[in-house]
Amino acid sequence: MEEQFDLIVVGAGSAGAVIAARASEDPRRSVLLVEAGPDYPDTAQTPFDLVNSHNNSYTDHDWGHSYQPTALGRSVPFPRGRVTGGSSAVNTTIALRGMPEDYDGWAAAGNPEWAWEKVLPAFKRLERDLDFGDRPYHGDAGPISIRRYAWDELTPVHQAWLEASDALGYPRCEDANDPDSWGSGPHPMNKVGRLRISTAIGYLSAARARPNLRIMAGTHTRRVVFEGTRAVGVEVERDGQVETIRGRAIVLSAGAIQSPAILMRSGAGPRAELERHGIEVLRDLPAVGTRLSDHPALAVVCRARDASLLDADQPIVQTILRYTAPGSEYRNDLQIEAFSFSPRGGPLTHFAVAAVLEQVHGTGTLRLASADPHASPVIEQHFCEDERDRSRLVGCLRDTLAFIRTEPLAGLIAEQTFPDPRRALSDESLGDLCLRLSASGFHPCATVPMGPDGAVDQYGRVHGLEGLMVADASIMPTVTRANTNLTSIMIGEMVGEWARTRGSKLYGL
């Protein structure tokens, strides 16, 4: 392609769609948004699995990755969205922000632009909170609509779970995005009725008409092209043909799995990893792929006394409890949440209540399987190998077991099927379960972490390379104490606004 764009954004997901939309608000700047998956220009053409926010889309718009959650576990699917909107188009639509301390922690690690007081305006700008938009820490006019289920909209499982939470002494929390809140209540969710409000709907719908924005779907990015140490374009593959598209600045927003993989294929990553695959080392960046952070979880599974209460067309998640482990220095480092049903093949007979560790010490790795641009990376999480993580998840699992023994939730249960109640559930045995069976909350991040000792600076600029930025969940130094989609959209808002208002100074635009 002979045309040169001012800005090329690779990945039209939770962050990339936002960056392209915000940067293209300047009509003088040409923006190309490259997406490996398909693009659906309006909701009338959008497949049901992407519209249906009641459950995730697991296969039709997925990358097909797998991962190994624990050293003792087997490899299992690791769903990631491959479509405009990225994982925001296929996920459960949980719209949690994380704790102010998460962002202040990022700032203290050498990234002062990401302090809570600086990211809060971006959170407010992105949201249209239909319940609490008049509060000073919320927005009421943004592109992402957020609401919470009312009591009469909750499934019987979620109603009983909330009443059990009351009986156990946890406070009610009307708004989990109140910076000072904790307790149990309805999830904030980016959905309107059944419709999932992805970044493709919230951001790209309004931006598509701009003549300076082009969306190139069905286009797989192989690597970034450099002249010396300056990024000058991307090598892509579409319709079986390989071509190079030139740009003055490149932003990788392909997500926490694909962004580090593209970087490494381009010659930027740990030297030993690149040399192992015969990739010429352009820049030795030891932090790429070596600090993978995520949320380990383990669910208690129960057979329902009345299976007619379970329906696969119900919203699978509606409520949450956020609280702090005893003696922990990390506020709201634990979550417990109910699932309306637990698919086990055949008729629905079970539901689940999950224990989730939100603040983690342990890290995993992401490596290349080969230099082949179509090969999925090797993802190993190493969940609960850090004793500090394991002990808190064990405690959370005990608290989760207390829920299913408390009325009125207990009255919905015919039997507990996991963990096996016939086993002695000592701390040691529960810890063993965590080491063997913990699974991902599917919130990978920190694979291209920002910071002085990371891979990018606080503006997303790759250390030692010019004209190349990364902006998505991969640049988070650590996982937030929340589902990561809203934070990823916030990252897109921050970098998109910097590109729009300070692009010449920061990014050479």
pLDDT tens digits for 359-414?
999 999 999 999 999 999 999 999 999 999 999 999 999 999 999 999 999 999 99
C-alpha 361/C-alpha 366 separation (Å) is: 17
Q: Point out the least confidently predicted range of 96-105, 156-165, 422-431.
A: 422-431
Residue 347 — very low, low, confident or very high, per pLDDT cuts 50/70/90? confident
- Are 126 and 18 spatial neighbours (Cβ–Cβ below 8 Å)? yes
- Are 415 and 344 spatial neighbours (Cβ–Cβ below 8 Å)? no
- Are 419 and 430 spatial neighbours (Cβ–Cβ below 8 Å)? yes
Mean pLDDT (whole number) for 445-450: 98
Q: For residue 465, is pLDDT > 90?
A: yes
* pLDDT number for residue 81: 97
Q: Is 338 helix (H, G, I), strand (E, B) or coil?
A: strand
Catalytic residue among 54, 374, 443, 463: 443
User: Which tokens hold the place of 381?
Assistant: 């999480």
Listed in order, strand segments (DSSP E) in 292-422 are 296-304, 319-323, 334-339, 350-357, 365-367, 378-380, 413-418
pTM of the model: 0.97
Backbone torsions φ then ψ of 495, nearest 5 degrees? -70, -35
Residue 47 — very low, low, confident or very high, per pLDDT cuts 50/70/90? very high
Token look-up 């299992």 returns 76
Instruction: Please count the other Cβ atoms lying within 10 Å of the Cβ belonging to residue 401.
Output: 18
Q: How many residues does the chain have?
A: 509
* pLDDT number for residue 1: 65
DSSP 200: I
CB neighbour list of residue 423: distance below 8 Å, 6 or more residues apart: 429
* pLDDT number for residue 343: 74
119, containing H or E segment: helix 116-126
C-alpha 422/C-alpha 169 separation (Å) is: 28
Instruction: Please count the other Cβ atoms lying within 10 Å of the Cβ belonging to residue 403.
Output: 24
C-alpha 498/C-alpha 193 separation (Å) is: 33
Residues 291-306, buried b or exposed e (16+ Cβ, 10 A)? Answer: bbbbbbbbbbbbbbee
CB neighbour list of residue 379: distance below 8 Å, 6 or more residues apart: 65, 66, 67, 68, 78, 257, 292, 364, 365, 366, 444
> In 210-266, where does DSSP find H-type helix?
255-265
C-alpha 355/C-alpha 300 separation (Å) is: 8
* pLDDT number for residue 344: 66
Domain boundaries, the chain: 4-37+91-144+205-289+443-507, 151-186+296-359+384-437
Mind listing the pLDDT tens digit for each residue in 185-222?
Answer: 999 999 999 999 999 999 999 999 999 999 999 999 99
C-alpha 225/C-alpha 266 separation (Å) is: 7
Q: For residue 14, is pLDDT > 80?
A: yes
Mean pLDDT (whole number) for 263-290: 98
Mean pLDDT (whole number) for 240-259: 97
Instruction: Please count the other Cβ atoms lying within 10 Å of the Cβ belonging to residue 405.
Output: 12
Q: Is 174 helix (H, G, I), strand (E, B) or coil?
A: coil
Mean pLDDT (whole number) for 250-270: 98
C-alpha 498/C-alpha 476 separation (Å) is: 17
The answer to whether 443 is a known catalytic residue is: yes
DSSP 228: T
Instruction: Indicate the average pLDDT of the chain.
Output: 96
Mind listing the pLDDT tens digit for each residue in 468-491?
Answer: 999 999 999 999 999 999 999 999
C-alpha 435/C-alpha 392 separation (Å) is: 13
Q: For residue 74, is pLDDT > 90?
A: no
Listed in order, strand segments (DSSP E) in 265-349 are 268-269, 283-284, 296-304, 319-323, 334-339
Domain 4-37+91-144+205-289+443-507 has CATH 3.50.50.60: yes
Which 3-state string (H, E, C) describes 15-68? Answer: CHHHHHHHHCCCCCCCEEEECCCCCCCCHHHCCHHHHECCCCCCCCCECCCEEE
- Are 102 and 481 spatial neighbours (Cβ–Cβ below 8 Å)? yes
Give the residue from 11, 1, 13, 22 showing the smallest Cα distance to 509.
22
Which pairing describes strands 144-146 and 127-129: parallel, antiparallel, or unpaired? parallel
Q: For residue 345, is pLDDT > 80?
A: no
Q: Report the DSSP beta bridge partners of residue 49.
A: none
What CATH number does domain 151-186+296-359+384-437 carry, 3.40.605.10, 3.40.50.1220, 3.30.410.40, 3.40.50.10790? Answer: 3.30.410.40
Mind listing the pLDDT tens digit for each residue in 286-338?
Answer: 999 999 999 999 999 999 999 999 999 999 999 999 999 999 999 999 999 99
C-alpha 390/C-alpha 362 separation (Å) is: 10
C-alpha 270/C-alpha 260 separation (Å) is: 11
